[in-house]
Amino acid sequence: MSWANLSAGDTMVLGFIPPLLLLFFFFSIFSPLAKESNNKKKDNNNKRRVHRLGFQGSK
C-alpha cells in the first residue's frame, strides 16, 4: 500500500464527509429549533394562563 493510494483514498473520504457533516448539523440545529419554538409558544400560553390565574387569585 503506497502513500499515493492512501492519500487518494483520504481525499475521497474527506471530500465525502463535509456534506454529511453539514446535513447532520443542519438537522441537529433546525429540528431542536423547531421544537423549541413550539415549546416556547406553549410555555407562553401556560405563563399567560398562570399569570391570569395568579392575578385573579391575588384579587
pTM, entire model:
0.34
Write down the pLDDT at residue 21: 83
Lowest mean pLDDT of 7-11, 12-16, 50-54, name the range: 50-54
| Beta carbons within 10 angstroms of residue 42's beta carbon | 10
- Could you give the C-alpha distances from 46 to 18, 34, 51, in angstroms and in order? 41, 19, 8
Q: Where are the domains of the chain?
A: 31-58
Q: Using one digit for the tens of pLDDT, what is the confidence trace for 27-49?
A: 887 887 777 777 777 766 666 66
Sign of CA dihedral 9, 15, 16, 18: positive
Helix (H) or strand (E) holding 38: helix 3-58
